[in-house]
Amino acid sequence: MALSKGIVGRVSVSHFLSAWNSRIFEYSAVLFLASIFPGTLLPPSVYALCRALSAMFLAPSIGHQVDKINRLVVVRRSIMFQRAAVASSCALFVVMITLNVGASTTNILIKAGFIAILSAFACVEKLASVMNTVSVERDWVVVITGSSTADLRRLNSIMRRIDLFCKMAGPLAISFLIGFTVIGSVWTLLILNVVSVFVEYFTIARVYTLVPALATRASASDHEEVSESAEEPLLAAENENDAGITETVSTSPFSKYIRHELFLPSFALSVLYFTVLSFGGQFVVYLLAVGYTPSVVGVLRTGSVLFELAATWVAPILMGKIGAVRSGMWFINWQAICCLVAAVAIFYSGPTNSADAPPTEPTDKFLFFFASKVTAAAVIAVVCSRVGLWGFDLCAQILIQEGVEPESRTAFSSVESSFQNFFELLSFASTIVFDKPDTFAVPAILSANSVVIAAILFAVYVRRVRKHLIHFPFVFGRKAAIDESVTHELDDEV
């Protein structure tokens, strides 16, 4: 069916509320813990570690189960569990702030108990968020757009813009509110979640009603298309399906993921999560240590998000001209080049300012607010690399959405999410081992290498499906410029 504005609008509203609440909670929970337990990073670190570990180990099993349940039931469960976990966490934060649990006189077992309960709620929220993401982004959007690749690219881009807007505006809004009142911001977050759950709950149900195809799983459709008069072929098909089901049960989602033909693009995307070359906490701390002010870092971070948003417009246009495979190669190679430049610049930036020395002032008037020429090169390279990251993300997502079997989409994406959390943990581990700003070059070099490895993995996939890496339309003629998607269709027909 055609992708109407009503469907796009409702999907966008539902996805915005999910992403907005998830981003705000993820960011504000750390700030709440920091205000309750001042002077120590241990409670926020334990909290974040438990949240990431739960996704890494439990996401694959959740995705495997999601493939067997009605789509609307899955999404509604994810909404209810996610909002219930956030509301419970907020209620616990109110109790902790009221009782001043972080005081030095509080028993250590009481502190540990509160942190353990909060971590449990965080695990539920994270798993529900993963369930919602893989269900809607990797399954619903494919069914909604039907056979239209152009509509799929458009809807993917819209959802990525929503993600990036929430990533930029959500933390900024809650930080502004916490600056006025911590307890008030907790109550605001609680009320926002309770109110939004009703809108999100019924909006996604309306989308389900407007798109009848969402009510049918691929396996069910296959059975319905079989003629009732053909009893023997039907019995044979049932026997084959039984054998297939037995094989599916005995085969774990992890092993199916590894053996899938789209493993390399998906795994390459996961490897990119091992990075400190983004405007996350690690890179921000480094910039503050080398002389940047918080306000300048905020401006640079906003510029980075704007570049990321630009990728959501550039990628669909490029994919429409040269296809998702070649576009993916362009984007990931661009990211690799930018990250290598950033890592080299950080390596040659020299030691950071000592704690007693004042921040270094720029010696060149043309540097504006950059601390030095070398750090300026690193910052600009990191900002430019974000176009490559999100462009490749959209290309890989298109390949996975169109190439993974409908009955395995959520299980496949859940294992992918598990790997993404694993590599994200490795990035945190790199800055735990090399925790001084003077040694930040080591995690930066490791991050650049991870992008290069991801580029190599994707190049192997490209070589496998296209039989060549470098495209020479002026040598091979007009036929060499045919979009990869068309080429694949021709190969399938042959």
Same domain, 177 and 260: no
Q: For residue 411, give the 3-state DSSP assignment.
A: helix
More confident residue, 332 or 368: 332
Q: How far apart are CA 282 and CA 297, in angstroms?
A: 12
Q: For residue 349, give the 3-state DSSP assignment.
A: coil
Q: How far apart are CA 369 and CA 382, in angstroms?
A: 16
Same domain, 129 and 262: no
Q: What pLDDT was estimated at residue 143? A: 86
Same domain, 119 and 204: yes
Within a domain: 312? yes
Within a domain: 227? no
What lies within 8 Å, CB to CB, of 112 at 6+ separation is none
What single-letter amino acid sits at 438? D
CATH number at residue 165: 1.20.1250.20
Same domain, 74 and 137: yes
Within a domain: 139? yes
Q: How far apart are CA 12 and CA 220, in angstroms?
A: 28
Model confidence over 437-452: pLDDT tens digits?
788 899 999 999 999 9
Same domain, 92 and 150: yes
Instruction: Count Cβ atoms within 10 A of the Cβ of residue 411 and give its class: 0-12 exposed, 13-18 middle, 19 or more buried.
Output: buried
Same domain, 295 and 151: no
Q: What pLDDT was estimated at residue 121? A: 93
Within a domain: 29? yes
Same domain, 188 and 255: no
CB distance 271 to 423 below 8 Å: yes
Q: Which of 72, 33, 20 is nearest to 193 (CA)?
A: 20
Same domain, 19 and 148: yes
**The Cα angle at residue 22 between residues 16 and 24, in degrees rounded to 5:** 100
- Cα-flanking dihedrals φ and ψ of residue 470, to 5°? -95, 130
**The Cα angle at residue 279 between residues 102 and 308, in degrees rounded to 5:** 135
Same domain, 117 and 33: yes
Model confidence over 147-201: pLDDT tens digits?
788 888 888 888 888 888 887 787 777 777 877 788 888 898 889 888 888 888 8
Model confidence over 245-271: pLDDT tens digits?
444 444 677 888 888 999 999 999 999
Q: Which of 15, 297, 310 is nearest to 172 (CA)?
A: 297
Arithmetic mean of pLDDT over the chain = 79
Model confidence over 459-480: pLDDT tens digits?
999 988 877 666 655 444 444 4
Within a domain: 97? yes
SS (H, E, C) 286-306: HHHHCCCCHHHHHHHHHHHHH
Q: How far apart are CA 226 and CA 102, in angstroms?
A: 65
Same domain, 207 and 256: no
Q: Which of 217, 242, 266 is the last residue of a domain?
A: 217
CB distance 447 to 343 below 8 Å: yes
Domain tally for the chain?
2
Q: In which domain, by residue range, is 83 found?
A: 1-217
Within a domain: 232? no
Q: Which of 196, 217, 238 is the last residue of a domain?
A: 217
**Sign, Cα dihedral of 100, 102, 103, 108:** positive
Angstrom distances, CA of residue 157 to CA of 107, 161, 413: 50, 6, 18
Number of continuous H segments (helices) and E segments (strands) in the chain? 19, 0
Within a domain: 95? yes
Same domain, 265 and 194: no
Q: How far apart are CA 453 and CA 211, in angstroms?
A: 40
What lies within 8 Å, CB to CB, of 45 at 6+ separation is none
- Cα-flanking dihedrals φ and ψ of residue 9, to 5°? -65, -45
Angstrom distances, CA of residue 289 to CA of 45, 278, 293, 357: 20, 16, 9, 11
Within a domain: 244? no
Angstrom distances, CA of residue 144 to CA of 21, 137, 401, 406: 24, 11, 12, 13
Model confidence over 451-462: pLDDT tens digits?
999 999 999 999
- Which range among 131-145, 183-197, 361-375, 405-419 shows the weakest confidence by mean pLDDT? 361-375
Q: What pLDDT was estimated at residue 451? A: 95
Q: What pLDDT was estimated at residue 247? A: 47
**pLDDT over 50 at 389, yes or no:** yes
Q: Give the model's confidence band at 392: pLDDT under 50 very low, under 70 low, under 90 confident, else very high.
A: very high
Q: Which of 331, 325, 263, 313 is nearest to 471 (CA)?
A: 325
pTM of the model: 0.70
**pLDDT over 60 at 116, yes or no:** yes
Q: Which of 200, 217, 234 is the last residue of a domain?
A: 217
Token pair listed for 23: 């981003």
Same domain, 113 and 177: yes
Q: What pLDDT was estimated at residue 339? A: 95
